[in-house]
Amino acid sequence: MASKTNKSLAKRIKVTKNGKLKVRAKGHAHNNAKESNSAKMAKKKVGEIKISAKDLGRTMPHR
């Protein structure tokens, strides 16, 4: 049986052409009205996550 893609991880990250993993900041969904503009702008930055090739292969075999 083929291994399945972990959908919760696949929805949160994007694999770039060179194999880097880009992830957007958490907390965009709701309750942002009371936050300062600097806090809102900080969430717009895209971060990079580190994960071993072994773990990535387990969670996203068909990337």
- Report pLDDT digits (tens) over 1-57: 778 888 888 888 888 888 788 988 778 888 889 999 998 888 888 888 888 888 888
- Report the pLDDT value the prediction gives residue 37, as an integer from 0 to 100: 94
Residue 59 to residues 7, 17, 32, 42, 51, Cα–Cα distance (Å): 8, 18, 31, 28, 11
Long-range CB contact pairs, 49-55, < 8 A, 24+: 49/13, 49/21, 49/23, 50/21, 51/21
